[in-house]
Structure 1
């Protein structure tokens, strides 16, 4: 059998020859060094693209004492949320010299106060903190003290000089209640989010504010604890639908739990939306997969991750950043909500 010939990868010498410059000039271009004429830089980059040449990140980090690694730290039980989070960060890093190191934690409290050690062990140049780590006082204080550049996604607490990108969870939850009351619902249940996430408290506040704005009293019997997981939403849905005077609508604090509620309704023989309206939060992939498709709050998770990563790159490069960015939410009305049953 003939031996398979190894594919030859382009080298920095190939790029230099194709661009008609020295190897040192190519190195200067990829290290963003000054004193390279724009036309020369363009010629080198075009030659690299034509040859599908990619510089060795490890070698460049040794030469410049930088790792070109950005950390993305999070703890979230929703796989749909996590996918959008990573996509947003990767979109911003596309075409950049930096690479993304994903740092998932099963329990954010276990990482509290240890982010500096994790960053040093990984050789990170900076870090993006997603909920709930972005609100952890020990983590924020530690990063502030050690001077590692970082940015935060959707924080609800202060005490940080880092740039952050967020949306208004409280107002979004109020918009959900407005929508349901507009359909005639007055008995609205809620599945609360994971209490370790600040967003859960903000969304519950918005739910209460929405009820009060329409003259409706909050009923503790209609509030069930969830954990931002499908299973917790399913269990909460079963509990709410077992009530003697069950709700005609349920607001779940994320899409995974809303999908669990729909599953519980199906098993109980309760038709959605004819007998029960269900609303989620996030507008993640699962919102368009379940049937009926979920009415939900579109949270710009991918956009927030992309903008936070962009702010972090600016910090690392000592450029000006916008301290706080508030991105808009949108109520997306689909087939899981309808008029209150007669």
Structure 2
């Protein structure tokens, strides 16, 4: 059957041999529809090329069918403006959009300032405009209690990435300290004893957890506290390069570096190349994130693979379940007894780590 120029819900109902209300329940992922009936309606929708009107869906069901995901405005724009791209955002969009698409929802991506005073006002304006069914907070916004209070007041479910304290509706996280500990033990097993950790921004709670895991692994190995060097690279190539140069030019340069993101690890490789320092013969490097670019670095980076897409996808899945009534009532402002989901990380061993040079 050919596509009509203006296909309506009535056309779908007629083609599937069901009522208009049944078509609406299928489109809105509603309950009480038999699998065979759902399949008939979905086949008719596909065959006719029917596209549901989002405004009509919102009016009919009281839902917006929108999940809002927000990210750090300044850092995101800086990377885009510098032409470096933003692999974290790519993974966010991939995980969130594909999950929302499964359920007939849409992902909306917004940039919000990390400044704790500006963020609530900016988010409030976005909430008023979009009326989303749920909000995904990424670091450092997931550490901002004012945003949690704002969402509680608006009775909008929230999923926080990188948090596991149970103070939001949904917590999605990986074991940051455990991952840093595993990276550290990997280097210790190769004989490294002077190891540097180039941390991200201090306002990011995950960075603090990784430093804790790094120091705990060194302590467990019986090393003195000064065996672990910590520098603040602020998640930026240029800032990290300055800090790494200071470490490499010091009186006791590290034989190994753990970087809090791929961009800072690239800075370590860049400086090693400038100074004719062999990687991994004279300097081992491990990165957090494991975005696609690490496979093309020279040499390819050993990295902790952070499950960004999986975390955002799980956050959207749970928020959609709440919006559809499958996970209890919406947030009332009281402690909701959150869903907690720990997503697994992986240490991917490539070519930038090896035995410490004699």
- TM > 0.5 fold call: yes
Tell me whether 1:100 sits opposite 2:107 in the alignment: yes
Aligned pairs (5 A) from 1:24-103: 25-32=22-29, 38-75=35-72, 77=76, 79-103=86-110
What's the offset of the Cα at 1:108? 4.5
- Comparing 198-207 with 123-132, greater Cα deviation is found at 123-132
Aligned pairs (5 A) from 1:1-342: 8=5, 10-21=7-18, 23=20, 25-32=22-29, 38-75=35-72, 77=76, 79-109=86-116, 110-112=118-120, 115-155=123-163, 157=165, 160-219=167-226, 222-320=229-327, 323-342=339-358
TM-score normalised per structure 2: 0.86
Asked whether the equivalents of residues 256 and 286 of structure 1 are also in contact (C-alpha less than 8 Å), the reply is no
What's the offset of the Cα at 1:203? 0.7
Higher RCO (C-alpha 8 Å, min separation 6)? 2
What's the offset of the Cα at 1:14? 4.0
Structure 1 unaligned spans of 5+: 1-6
In the TM superposition, structure 1's runs of 4+ consecutive aligned residues that sit over 4 Å from their partners are 21-25, 32-38
TM-score normalised per structure 1: 0.89
The aligned length equals 336
What's the offset of the Cα at 1:115? 3.1
- How many angstroms apart in 2 are the aligned matches of 1:24 and 1:146? 30
In the superposition, relative to structure 1, how do residues 243 and 50 fare at CA in structure 2: closer, same or farther (>3 Å)? same
In the superposition, relative to structure 1, how do residues 31 and 167 fare at CA in structure 2: closer, same or farther (>3 Å)? closer
Asked whether the equivalents of residues 156 and 198 of structure 1 are also in contact (C-alpha less than 8 Å), the reply is no
- Comparing 298-307 with 54-63, greater Cα deviation is found at 54-63
Structure 2 unaligned spans of 5+: 80-85, 329-337
What is the CA RMSD across the aligned residues, in angstroms?
2.5
Superposed CA offset, 1:228-263 (max 9, x none):
122233222222222132111111111111111111
- How many angstroms apart in 2 are the aligned matches of 1:32 and 1:204? 44
